[in-house]
Amino acid sequence: MSGRVIAGIGCRRGCAAQDILRVLDRVGMDVAAIAVPAFKANEPGVREAARRLGVPVIRVDDAALAAAQARCVTRSLAAARATGFASVAEGSALAACGPRGRLVLARIAVGGATCALAEAPP
């Protein structure tokens, strides 16, 4: 990989930072930032996980998340019912990387958190 890697995170309300850190540990890669949909950006667990990693939180607005859905490879009916988006983690990662970003790890789940990785072009 030659660009910066962004972790898209999906999580349940009240998800602990430890759950987010566990899913990020499972991917085994350093990330430049954590991307989440705007409706999750103020979750304390998301903020704390980013603080512990020393990376920024990228807030992805609904329009960017919607635009990224067609590039996602996994979809969740439960996520679609709860949020209106079938792919939160992948969509967030791809949206944060821009239209030329590419998915490098499809969504994985650990506990109450999901993670997908996308790479932004250099």
- The span from the CA of 88 to the CA of 38, in Å, is 11
pLDDT at residue 3 tops 90:
no
* Residue 6 exposure: Cα atoms within 13 Å on the Cβ side: 27
Q: Which helix (H) or strand (E) holds 118?
A: strand 113-120
Dihedral angle computed from the Cα positions of residues 14, 6, 101 and 76, in that order, rounded to the nearest 10 degrees: -30
pLDDT tens, position by position, 65-112: 999 999 999 988 888 788 888 899 999 999 999 999 999 999 999 988
Q: Domain ranges for the chain, please list them.
A: 4-120
Flag whether pLDDT at 10 surpasses 60: yes
pLDDT tens profile 20-59: 999 999 998 899 999 999 999 999 999 999 999 999 999 9
Kindly tell me if the per-residue pLDDT of 1 is higher than 50. no
> In this structure, which topology does domain 4-120 adopt according to CATH?
Nucleotidyltransferase; domain 5 (3.30.420)
Task: Determine contact, residues 90/72, Cβ cutoff 8 Å.
Answer: yes
d(CA 117, CA 122): 15
44: left (phi over 0), alpha (psi -120 to 50) or beta: alpha
Q: Could you tell me the pTM of the whole model?
A: 0.92
Q: Residue 97 CA to chain centroid, in angstroms?
A: 11
